[in-house]
Amino acid sequence: MPESSNWTHLHAQLHRTLLQRQILPSNQRLLVAVSGGQDSLCALKLLLDLQPKWGWNLAIVHCDHGWRSDSQSNANHVENLAKNWGISYYLQTASDILKTEAAARQWRYQALIEIAIAHNYPYIVTGHTASDRAETLLYNLIRGSGADGLSALTWTRPLFDFRLPILDFRLGNSDANHNSQMSADFRLGNSDANHNSQISANFRSDNLDQNPKSKIQNLKSKIYLVRPLLEITRSQTGQFCQDQKLPIWEDSTNQDLQYARNRIRSQLLPYLETHFNPKAQQALAQTAELLRADVEYLELAATELLQRAISPIADNEQVKIQLPVKLNRQTLRDAPLALQRRAMRQVLQRILPCAPSFEHVEKLTSLIAAANRSQTDPFPGGAIARVENPWIAIGI
Per-residue model confidence as pLDDT tens digits over 63-73: 988 777 788 99
How far is Cα 341 from Cα 224, in angstroms, rounded to an integer?
Answer: 27
pLDDT digits (tens, 9 = 90+) for 118-137: 999 999 999 999 999 999 99
pLDDT at 149: 87
C-alpha gyration radius of the chain: 22
Spatial distance between the Cα atoms of 328 and 330, rounded to a whole number of angstroms: 6
Res 31 pLDDT > 90: yes
Residues in a beta bridge with 387: 392
Q: Please determine, for residue 194, whether its predicted confidence score (pLDDT) is greater than 70.
A: no
pLDDT above 50 for 178: no
- List pLDDT tens digits, range 196-245: 333 333 333 333 333 434 444 445 578 999 999 999 999 999 999 999 99
Grouping H, G, I as helix, E, B as strand and the rest as coil, residue 323 is: coil
Q: Which of 154, 190, 191 is nearest to 294 (CA)?
A: 154
Taking the model in full, what pTM does it have? 0.79
Query: Could you give the CA distance from residue 354 to residue 381 in angstroms, rounded to a whole number?
Result: 9
Q: What stretches of the chain adopt beta strand conformation (E)?
A: 29-33, 57-64, 88-93, 123-125, 156-161, 222-226, 310-311, 325-328, 384-388, 391-395
Per-residue pLDDT at 197: 36
Closest to 227 in 3D by CA, of 26, 42, 3, 5: 42
b/e 215-229 (16+ beta carbons within 10 angstroms → b): ebeebeeebbbbbbb
Q: Is the pLDDT of residue 183 over 50?
A: no
Predicted confidence band of residue 316 (pLDDT cuts 50, 70, 90): low
The residue type of 122 is P
104: amino acid identity, one letter: A
Task: Measure the CA–CA gap between 18 and 6, rounded to whole angstroms.
Answer: 19
Give the β-pairing of 384-388 and 57-64: unpaired
Judged against a pLDDT cut of 90, whether residue 347 lies above it is answered with yes
CA distances (Å), 78 to each of 57, 61, 368, 369, in order?
A: 18, 9, 54, 57
Q: 112 pLDDT exceeds 80?
A: yes
What percent of the chain has pLDDT above 70? 81
Predicted local confidence at residue 2, as pLDDT: 40
| Spatial separation of the C-alpha atoms in residues 288 and 316, rounded to whole Å | 30
Question: Mean pLDDT across the chain, nearest whole number?
Answer: 83
Sign of CA dihedral 36, 133, 12, 270: positive
Q: What is the pLDDT of residue 165?
A: 42
pLDDT at 160: 78
Going by the DSSP 8-state scheme, the letter that residue 375 receives in this structure is B
In angstroms, the CA 77 to CA 35 distance is 10
Of residues 142, 191, 147, 141, the one with CA closest to residue 293: 147
Mean pLDDT for the stretch of residues 279-299? 95
